[in-house]
Amino acid sequence: MEHRNSINIINSSFLVGMPLLALFSVIFYSLEYGISWVEPIIFVVFYFACGLSITAGYHRLFSHRTHKAAWPMRLFYALFGAAAFQNSAIKWCSDHRRHHLKTDKEEDPYSVKKGFMWAHMVWVMVDQGEEIVEHVEDLQADRILAWQDRHIFLIGFLVGIVLPGVAGFLMLGGMHGFLGGMIYGGFLRVVIVHHATFLVNSAAHTWGTQPYSTANTSRDSPILSFFTFGEGYHNFHHTFQADYRNGHKWYHWDPSKWWIKVASWVGMTKELHRIPKKSIESQKMKTAFEKKSEGEDVSNELQAKLTQCVLQLRKGFTELVKRRDEYKLAKLERRKESKEAWKRRKEAHKVRIKECKARIAEARKDFKHLMQSLKLDMKGHATVA
């Protein structure tokens, strides 16, 4: 698709020039000074500080309000988010909220329907008309973010380029140290963080699975999560935007959720929102049924069975949460009972919990049978056709 937009000279020069600057400066520095253990450490520290400021800060906190954060954490995100050179939080979130409201439509600022490279970076390199900043009144009222928006380029330069140079100077000494810190923690790190986070707009809408929804191009990719601070579980995110996790299972690679969770232990974050497991799994059931039916007419009987499976599953999870809460409360009161009485009560709680799990397992089993029936039904339609 042809994009009739004018080139943004500043953005284009930066996105093309920075990789070239990083490449030539790394080669020059390596030949002139070699590489010690210090430069990689500076790179890694600034890589995570800036990357997490975009994913956990700009994205999950500011754009989607999946949790709340204390002012030192918001200031950290403002400083190192500016150092990522991806615009101010206010303007970034304006674009991102529009992306979610208009995913894959013409109004989507980085719709992958306009091409992989468009979604990846070209959309930043062209002027798409007058800049629109909307739906961010809550962020504009935040004094930290309003300050960052006014001084975004100065903050970005000082924190993203000068500060890693200062770190190198303190650790290695002299101009040698300053250059090493600036090149590895500044130039090279900017390029890597850029393209790591850009992949969320391009690759996460191109490759992967759609277990939770087929309503848009978003996809889940565990492999992509390793390069995007956990943002690769993108189909889950588009379906459940209010969840502070993108990888909702404990073993999903999602450094951003771990950062947010650990921060809650020291009071830097709070009110971490999690979508209930019953909502996640029931949505997964509905999507699997929808994909298997492939838009064909499905009998009312099979539709009714799907509804029954979903209701049974949700009821089982609701009861399970209730029974576990009762068990936790009973544990707090166990000192009031004799050892024998507590043993009997404990067993009763475990039996009730086990019954809830059995109902959930039964719902999953019924759904598996339903999918097999649907497959046979689809084969029958194909034979008739």
Q: In this structure, how many other beta carbons lie within 10 angstroms of the beta carbon of residue 312?
A: 18
* pLDDT reading at 4 higher than 70: no
Q: In this structure, how many other beta carbons lie within 10 angstroms of the beta carbon of residue 137?
A: 8
In the structure, what pLDDT confidence band is assigned to residue 384 with cuts at 50, 70 and 90?
very low
- pLDDT value for 130: 78
| Mean pLDDT on 35-44 | 96
* pLDDT reading at 383 higher than 60: no
Q: In this structure, how many other beta carbons lie within 10 angstroms of the beta carbon of residue 190?
A: 26
Question: Which residues are bridge partners to 126 per DSSP?
Answer: 7
pLDDT digits (tens, 9 = 90+) for 106-127: 999 999 999 999 999 999 999 8
Helices (H), the chain: 9-33, 38-52, 71-83, 89-101, 116-117, 123-125, 137-140, 143-150, 152-157, 163-172, 174-182, 189-201, 222-225, 234-239, 255-265, 277-293, 300-332, 339-384
Least confident of 299-308, 322-331, 373-382: 373-382
In the structure, what pLDDT confidence band is assigned to residue 379 with cuts at 50, 70 and 90?
low
Give the whole-angstrom CA distance, residue 245 versus residue 71.
21
Q: Which of 255, 251, 253 is nearest to 263 (CA)?
A: 255
* pLDDT reading at 288 higher than 90: yes
Amino acid at the residue 233: Y
* pLDDT reading at 3 higher than 70: no
Least confident of 26-40, 82-96, 294-308, 316-330: 294-308
Amino acid at the residue 370: L
Give the whole-angstrom CA distance, residue 144 versus residue 250.
33
pLDDT digits (tens, 9 = 90+) for 200-252: 999 999 999 999 999 999 999 999 999 999 999 999 999 999 999 999 999 99
Which two structure tokens, joined as six digits, stand for 326? 């009762």
Which range, 1-5, 36-40, 292-296, has the best average confidence (pLDDT)? 36-40
